[in-house]
Amino acid sequence: MEQFRSFDQLRTNELSVTRNGFFRPSFNLTDGQFIYGKLSYASLWKTVTILETAQKTWTIKRKGVFSRTLIITGQNEEELGMVIPEVWSRRIKLNMNNGFDAEFLNKKLFTRTFSLVNDRYGDILSIKTGLWSFKTPFNITFNLDLLKNIPDLPLMALLGVNLILIKQAQSAATAGVGS
């Protein structure tokens, strides 16, 4: 974890996500100069996701084989929260054990922007998917003032990227079935 720069030293409100590798990709959260976090997979089948920053490491895995719910665990395997996709909706609920609740959603029907919204803080972050960009597929914008109020903002940014990647994989699998 020494390779990552701390989010406390972040001076810009826009970060990009760069893709490394093709068959076993990992994704770095960067401002162009420093790397602030990394999303990687622990297995070949992408069933376990590892999110790393300078301060913490989180693991994301499914609650069960046929469950849509994702469990967020910390470094000591303690459960920190859950990600629950709503049925027949584009909303994905984030429920942290510390009492923080938010929703990931696309605000408009045909948009490339995936937002994290909270009742208290409003729009926390926005992840914009790049069009036809393989090397830098995502741009993340957020309010720098929220870094002090929301301690797990790096987790939420990397988790949002992971949710978009899961949606893209599901869409690709569905498109491949019909052809």
Quickly state the pLDDT bin for 176 (edges 50, 70, 90).
confident
Give alpha helix (H) positions in 3-113. none
Residue 119 placed within a domain: yes
Residue 175 placed within a domain: no
Residue in the structure block whose two tokens are 């622990």: 42
Quickly state the pLDDT bin for 169 (edges 50, 70, 90).
confident
- What distance, in Å, lies between the first and last C-alpha atoms of the chain? 43
Neighbours of 157 (CB within 10 A): 27
Number of domains the chain contains = 1
pLDDT at 61: 94
What distance in Å separates the CA atoms of residue 14 and residue 154, rounded to the nearest whole number?
Answer: 13
Quickly state the pLDDT bin for 174 (edges 50, 70, 90).
confident
* pLDDT, tens only, 39-57: 999 977 788 999 999 999 9
Quickly state the pLDDT bin for 177 (edges 50, 70, 90).
low
What distance in Å separates the CA atoms of residue 33 and residue 38, rounded to the nearest whole number?
Answer: 14
Residue 57 placed within a domain: yes
What distance in Å separates the CA atoms of residue 29 and residue 15, rounded to the nearest whole number?
Answer: 7
Residue 130 placed within a domain: yes
Residue 56 placed within a domain: yes
pTM assigned to the model: 0.91
| Residue 88 scores a pLDDT above 90 | no
Residue 23 placed within a domain: yes
Domain that holds residue 128: 7-167
Residue 173 placed within a domain: no
